[in-house]
Structure 1
Amino acid sequence: MHQSDQGPAFVENLLAEQGLPANDLVCVSSAGNQVWRTERHVIRISSGRFPGAFAHEARVVALIEGSVPVSPVLAHGVVAEREWIISERSHGQTVARAWSEMTRADQHSVGRQLGSVLKALHATAVPAGFENPWLSAAFHDPARLKDAYHPPPRLFPEFLRAAAALEGVDPDVLQQLEAYVASRLHCFTAAEENVLTHCDLHFDNLLWADGAITAVLDFEGSRLAPRDQELDTIVRFVRAPADYVGLPRGAEDVVDFAPALDDIGTTYPELFAGEDLVPRLEVYEVMWFLTELLHFPPRRRPHGPWRRLREIVSSGSPIGAMLRR
């Protein structure tokens, strides 16, 4: 599929094949996939980088529909190795954009509702053999580490070796990072429970309208993982919301999402219950920034993930303080 094949004519034809109208078709901004929207539907076309991602999302949405607010999937398929998916369009604005205009009562309600959403998601029964195909492939192929988003801690040695090969990486910092993670790995066991997690649940993936979360978006990266893995993205979003789509740079100076953490815990205390929660989240944080480092090495983005990793080994992670506030 060429770039021109993804224009309005292609999308209109795709909708027509499904017997769906193309009223008010517009292309909307997106960090990854190409996204089109009509009056009633959302159409996403993948970059082709994550094979099977939309088929996986459709499967997950079918599993959780009725217990978690989602945008129902109407159809999905593949054209020339590029996946497409058509979903019903849920009404609302992303929580990230709406937050500053919400009343304090609504802000508290977001956290409490999100706690209930996560509790329902994590309680979802999945069929035997369930897995995320593109993530599972990335976790088992050292050549695809860049695609191994939210990796399990067992992959830390491979990420450390990959980071050591990057130009501009200080081996002394990597040595400190190795010791930092090694002192926390005892908090993870092979026998711990895995549940269905979204794994990318920042507030730009939540729609809000009329006092309610109307939809959780983007289940492409969902997978079986320990339940506290879900907090990794949420805590990082609260710490630096401008790193995410839909919030202006510098907005974290005037918009405080941190109270939502307490409100999530009000309805889902089990998510915060583990005595090793902080060191586990600190390891998840390192794994995330190592993944990002493979995309944005020091020479390319000196103030990006490498700076964050240096801060962690020099002054520690802010996670503990965030959860105690």
Structure 2
Amino acid sequence: MSDPSTPFVGEPALLRTLAAAGLPATGRFLPKGGWVSRVWVGDEYVVRLSNGQFRDSFRHEATVADLLAGSEVPHARHLAHGDGPDGPWSVTERVPGRTLYEAWPEADSHTRQTMIESLGSALRALHRVPVTADLLPPWLADALAGKPWPAFHPPVVNATLQEVEAARRLPGRDSRLLTDVADWIQERLPLFATDVPVLVHGDLHGSNVMVDQGRVTSLIDFAEAVTQPADVELDTILRWCAKAREYPPTPSDQGLDETTLTEVPRWLHGAYPELFEREHLRDRLLFYDMYVELALYAHHPQPDVRQVSQNRITRLLAGHNHLDALAW
């Protein structure tokens, strides 16, 4: 096995992808791990090869990149994408810096605050980008149509009751619990009646933010970008703050220590207060969390994960979840 810190350009799949993109195979490329992609970070380009789990995710990211062009959103310029013998591939420009996950442990408190405030400005810019009401990742559209679920977020408000019905059709689910959940959802759907959906990233945590010298240089991985209420963004961010160990950059890594993230909600609120100013915000966030847990309960292949979700759904019905541990 090669040392992942060793620069190289000779990986055949990398060479084939660069050739397909019409780019020279010159300079250094460092391999990096990921959950569903092989990644090579070059001097000028970042090359990704997907395992195909998320249908047309790179095409979706290219669509989002077109929306971001000319905006104030820090993002990497999309260069090319396609399908080849090694699977779906994408090439973007390399932006300065490293992930927030990588920079966080050694950063002092002032630098951490500056990075989160910069993230708040980036999110405000993102939520102002004009977008159609029907933007939905193809793989998520498939999942909502009844095909296999490759992932369980971001929340899609108008599909929440649909997840209750999906769970009801499967053996081993608690029908009485699901009846209570359906009533709970019906009571809270009016909270979203007047929302104006915006472009949300859908999966913002430390591994999907690039930083350099205390500022955000790019939001990355728009495979889950969707048109939803702006505070959907808080669902993942606050979940990351409360359960950071569940958000490692690769399956073999460890997530950050949650105790180092306690100030993040306050710093983000200071930079982007409008994101926190929706009426009944806590109830809305509980609703988003219910969607996530319902999707897991209805679709996850592992019984132990479904059991954990059932327990969390019971707590949500009582008004409790991971937000209880956060000061925000």
Give the TM-score normalised by structure 2. 0.84
Read off the aligned partner of 2:63 and give its amino acid letter.
Answer: R
CA distance in 1, matches of 2:207, 2:34: 11
1:12 alignment counterpart: 15
2:208 aligned to 182, 205, 215, which one? 205
CA distance in 2, matches of 1:286, 1:130: 22
Q: Does 1:86 align with 2:91?
A: yes
CA distance in 2, matches of 1:146, 1:25: 29
Distance 1:250 1:22, change over 3 A: closer
CA distance in 1, matches of 2:145, 2:307: 29
Distance 1:81 1:144, change over 3 A: farther
CA distance in 2, matches of 1:298, 1:180: 26
Deviation at 1:97, TM superposition (A): 3.0
Coordinate RMSD, CA, aligned: 2.9
Distance 1:291 1:146, change over 3 A: farther
Structure 1 residue matching 2:95: 3-state secondary structure = coil
Q: Does 1:124 align with 2:129?
A: yes
1:299 alignment counterpart: 303
Distance 1:19 1:154, change over 3 A: closer
8 Å CA contact 2:80, 2:90 repeated in 1:
yes
- The CA deviation string for residues 118-170 of structure 1, in whole angstroms up to 9 with x for no partner, is 110111123x5762350563365133556573242322232113223455533
Structure 1 residue matching 2:261: 3-state secondary structure = coil
2:231 alignment counterpart: 228
CA distance in 2, matches of 1:145, 1:302: 14
Q: Does 1:217 align with 2:220?
A: yes
Distance 1:312 1:256, change over 3 A: farther
Listed as ranges, the matches of 1:244-259 within 5 Å are 244-246=247-249, 249=254, 251-252=256-257, 255-259=259-263
Give the TM-score normalised by structure 1. 0.84
Q: Which moved more, 1:31-40 or 1:203-212?
A: 31-40
CA distance in 1, matches of 2:197, 2:234: 14
Read off the aligned partner of 2:60 and give its amino acid letter.
Answer: H
Deviation at 1:101, TM superposition (A): 1.6
Listed as ranges, the matches of 1:95-114 within 5 Å are 95-114=100-119
Structure 1 residue matching 2:53: 3-state secondary structure = coil
CA distance in 1, matches of 2:134, 2:167: 31
Name segments (4+ residues, structure 1) moved above 4 Å.
Answer: 144-148, 165-168, 247-251
Deviation at 1:35, TM superposition (A): 2.0
Distance 1:250 1:148, change over 3 A: closer
Read off the aligned partner of 2:223 and give its amino acid letter.
Answer: E
CA distance in 2, matches of 1:172, 1:114: 42
1:308 aligned to 305, 312, 316, which one? 312
Give the number of aligned pairs.
315
- The CA deviation string for residues 43-92 of structure 1, in whole angstroms up to 9 with x for no partner, is 11223233332122123223324511112112111226942110122232
Structure 2 residue matching 1:192: 3-state secondary structure = coil
Distance 1:27 1:300, change over 3 A: farther
2:7 alignment counterpart: none
Distance 1:21 1:249, change over 3 A: closer
Q: Does 1:290 align with 2:294?
A: yes
Q: Which runs of 5+ in 1 are unaligned?
A: 1-6
CA distance in 2, matches of 1:164, 1:140: 15
CA distance in 2, matches of 1:34, 1:84: 9
1:262 alignment counterpart: 266
- The CA deviation string for residues 155-206 of structure 1, in whole angstroms up to 9 with x for no partner, is 22321132234555333433443343333222121x4201111111112111
Q: Which moved more, 1:271-280 or 1:155-164?
A: 155-164
Q: Which moved more, 1:143-152 or 1:98-107?
A: 143-152
Q: Which runs of 5+ in 2 are unaligned?
A: 1-9
